[in-house]
Amino acid sequence: MSRWFAGLNPEQASVVAHERGPIAVLAGAGSGKTKTLVARIGRLIETGVDARRILAVTFSKKAADDMNAKIAEKGVRGARVGTWHSLCYQILRDDRTRYAEWQIDQKDRHKTIVKQAMGYKHVDWKDGDLGEVRRFLGWCKANLWGAESEEAREEARRRFPSAAPLALDVYRVVETLLEEAGLLTFDDMLVRAHEHLQDEPTRRRWAGRWLHVMQDEAQDANAAQVALADMLARDHRNYMIVGDPAQSIYGFRGSSPEYLTAFAEKWGARVVCMNRNYRCGADIVQAANGAIRPAAVRLPEDLRPELPIRGAVRLVGAADLDDEAQELAAHVEAHVEDRGAFADFCALFRTNAQSRAIEEALLSRKIPYVVIGGCIFYERKEVRDLLAYLRVAAGRDEDGEELRRCINAPFRYLGPKFVERVLEMARARRGAWTAIVQSAATQAGIQRRQLQSATEWCDMIRAAERAIQNDERPASVLGDIVRETGYLQWLERDQGEESIEDSHAANVRELVRVAGRFATVAELLDFVDANIEAAIRQRRADEQVDQVLLMSVHRSKGLEWPRVWVVGCNDGILPHAHGDPQEERRIFYVAVTRAKEELTLSYVGRLATKSGVRRVDPSPFLRDAGLLDSEPEAAE
């Protein structure tokens, strides 16, 4: 028997033995899909296929690197394994298209270009939502809809009923500005490659390079990727897709599980279901099956646990977010005291704003941790902006760095030159920042709108100073600043919301919420400073691997840990109030299936909101998972 079949189960072996024609592999969580893909590549080469004629594409660079490493371990060389973006860029570069000379947008300059297009020099869309406009543009690119297409017009009317023409104008201007800048975005890599392959001889030449096309993570494919795969595979039809419809969680980027589920009918493909789970204990698999069973799209069969362990599934009820975080930290501490490792744990959350309480709880117990895919809560831009207002008003800004941070956030036409003038005057004479700013605003060369903005900023700082002197609670002071500055509205216009996961507004609301725990602004700032210092000390000391990981569920996809704790399993958080209900269920399923030995799902009884403290219900997914019939381990 070929070495490539060693250690494979019947379903995996069936996939590896498949030699020609289309095949859809529906591979559940922990079913060994990467192992199977690698074995099939090796087996094809063993049967005489030139390795250079095998193409494998996947969703992320990490997944591509992982597959390449596993192929290399098996002694296989020559197969082309990479992301869609790397493939499309190769097509543009090797054919010496003009896009090969463009600069790749590694630093997201696209965001600045969209802001310019929406600005007064171009479309002048004063109340446009930057985040929503970028989502519109990304959606159009993912679906290959140009600015003049009827589909783009319909989408603009759906998203911006009274401002659709403005959205389409922004689309056109952005295209022009990208052209002028010679900037190639990752979305445009796919779009431009697709355009390039519209030339039939060119398409045939590229399609002829490979005799087999394999697509991993097919549940995350968008229309552009589907079209590109069709261009490369339709001549020989040796096309294999691998994916799990229950793990499709990137709908906001234009992906859809329907592309995977419709593949068999469209291509007349053979279907293999790999539903044996080699990652999770049996009880964890049972919870996952229960949670995903009501989904509209899922594997045709339940996951089957193959590990000889039951695993543990814990349900924890907590009073509020801070209590929930303390429960988590205490559990980690007890595990380590019992000779476990910090690195055994990963804490997952639906939105990044939820990390704040966990970070504080871990720091309070000197538990090392790292936030994956972001910075610590109190170092996030919007949090630092608002704290800067408080520090200036509280007299905690001797060098002017806090002034520099908040005087032009929101934008007030008080740019770097004005700030340098203020700091130069401060070096010449001491005094309150409000007096120095007011004086600087009356100097020669200052525009009227700058004087007005400087006056408004000074009035706001003075109001905050009076509130602090009157011992007003910091949540009230912060709330006034957010309201008077229109900070949330400015964030929406200037920064945009990339996704529910990365919500700037949620971080602002969380800061105001945590401020409600303190009686004075001084106490709040002391607490924040102590947390930042502790986090800095920890970063310096923790060059070690042994630390708790904190990340969003989206970041966790494709990963696994011995012990996983999913916080915020509440209706309105997971599922999120603004998310697609079906995709929210799949997000929960992804979170559950990251755990190997122990899964903890926690929920809270109350949340502090801008309208006051309110009671919240546990996530309905907990009941589907069969967990709410049991009494939570800690509840109030």
With a pLDDT cut of 70, the percent of the chain lying above it is 96
User: For 16, what's the count of Cα atoms within 13 Å in the CB-facing half-sphere?
Assistant: 26
Q: Which helix (H) or strand (E) holds 415?
A: none
Res. 403: pLDDT tops 80: yes
Asked if residue 439 belongs to a known ligand binding site, the reply is no
Q: Which of 120-129, 185-194, 363-372 ranks highest by mean pLDDT? A: 185-194
Distance CA 550, CA 552 (A): 7
pLDDT of residue 308: 95
Tally of CB atoms within 10 A around 61: 12
Q: Which residues pair with 243 in a beta bridge?
A: 26
pLDDT of residue 254: 84
Q: What is the set of domains in the chain, with CATH numbers? A: 3-92+197-274 (3.40.50.300), 103-181 (1.10.10), 304-368+546-625 (3.40.50.300), 379-525 (1.10.486.10)
Distance CA 146, CA 191 (A): 9
**Which residues, 6+ apart, have CB-to-CB distance to 571 below 8 Å?**
616, 617, 618, 619, 620
Q: Which helix (H) or strand (E) holds 60?
A: none
Report the DSSP pairing between strands 312-318 and 595-604: parallel
**Which residues, 6+ apart, have CB-to-CB distance to 284 below 8 Å?**
305, 311, 313, 592, 593, 595, 596, 599
Give the DSSP letter of residue 470.
Answer: T
Give Cα separations from 413 to 105, 116, 483 (angstroms): 28, 15, 20
CA angle 109, 580, 583 (to 5 degrees): 90
**Which residues, 6+ apart, have CB-to-CB distance to 404 below 8 Å?**
419, 423
3-state secondary structure of 345: strand
pLDDT of residue 635: 44
Q: One-letter amino acid identity for 43?
A: R
Least confident segment among 51-65, 142-156, 295-309: 51-65
User: By the 8 A CB rule, do 194 and 228 touch?
Assistant: yes
pLDDT, tens digit, for every residue of 250-291?
988 888 888 999 999 999 999 999 999 999 999 999 999 999
CA quadruple 548, 34, 257, 185: dihedral sign: positive
Least confident segment among 10-24, 494-508, 580-594: 494-508
Strand runs labelled E in 10-69? 23-27, 54-58
Tally of CB atoms within 10 A around 473: 18
pLDDT, tens digit, for every residue of 442-468?
887 888 889 999 999 999 999 999 999
CA quadruple 634, 334, 627, 588: dihedral sign: positive
Q: What is the Rg, in whole angstroms, of the alpha carbon atoms belonging to the chain?
A: 27
Tell me which residue of 223, 231, 148 sits closest to 196, measured CA to CA: 231
- What are the φ and ψ backbone dihedral angles of 387, each rounded to 5 degrees? -65, -30
Q: Residue 322 — pLDDT band, cuts 50, 70, 90?
A: very high
Tell me which residue of 270, 207, 204, 273 sits closest to 240, measured CA to CA: 270
For 563, the token pair is: 């012990």
Res. 185: pLDDT tops 60: yes
Q: Which helix (H) or strand (E) holds 604?
A: strand 595-604
pLDDT of residue 520: 94
For the sheet containing 561-566, what is the strand order? Answer: 312-318, 595-604, 561-566, 345-349, 548-552, 369-371
Distance CA 430, CA 419 (A): 16
Tell me which residue of 165, 179, 157 sits closest to 125, measured CA to CA: 165
Asked if residue 29 belongs to a known ligand binding site, the reply is yes
Tally of CB atoms within 10 A around 452: 13
Distance CA 211, CA 226 (A): 18
User: DSSP states of 268-337 as a string?
Assistant: T-EEEEE-EESSS-HHHHHHHHHHHTT-SS--SS--EE-SS---EEEEEEESSHHHHHHHHHHHHHHHHH
Q: One-letter amino acid identity for 200?
A: E
User: By the 8 A CB rule, do 422 and 440 touch?
Assistant: yes
Report the DSSP pairing between strands 612-615 and 606-609: antiparallel
3-state secondary structure of 185: coil
Res. 523: pLDDT tops 60: yes
Query: What is the separation of C-alpha 596 from the centre of its chain, rounded to a whole number of angstroms?
Result: 23
User: By the 8 A CB rule, do 549 and 559 touch?
Assistant: no
pLDDT, tens digit, for every residue of 333-373?
999 999 999 999 999 999 988 999 999 999 889 898 988 87
User: By the 8 A CB rule, do 588 and 619 touch?
Assistant: yes
Res. 587: pLDDT tops 50: yes
Asked if residue 27 belongs to a known ligand binding site, the reply is yes
Tell me which residue of 334, 286, 291 sits closest to 312, measured CA to CA: 286
For 473, the token pair is: 């609670």
Tell me which residue of 557, 542, 12, 555 sits closest to 276, measured CA to CA: 12
Tell me which residue of 613, 512, 586, 502 sits closest to 108, measured CA to CA: 502
Asked if residue 476 belongs to a known ligand binding site, the reply is no
Res. 230: pLDDT tops 60: yes
- What are the φ and ψ backbone dihedral angles of 104, each rounded to 5 degrees? -75, 135
3-state secondary structure of 141: helix
Q: Which residues pair with 318 in a beta bridge?
A: 604
pLDDT averaged over every residue in the chain: 92
pLDDT of residue 28: 96
Asked if residue 33 belongs to a known ligand binding site, the reply is yes
Tell me which residue of 239, 261, 264 sits closest to 21, measured CA to CA: 239
User: For 174, what's the count of Cα atoms within 13 Å in the CB-facing half-sphere?
Assistant: 27
Residue range 495-515: average pLDDT? 77
3-state secondary structure of 565: strand
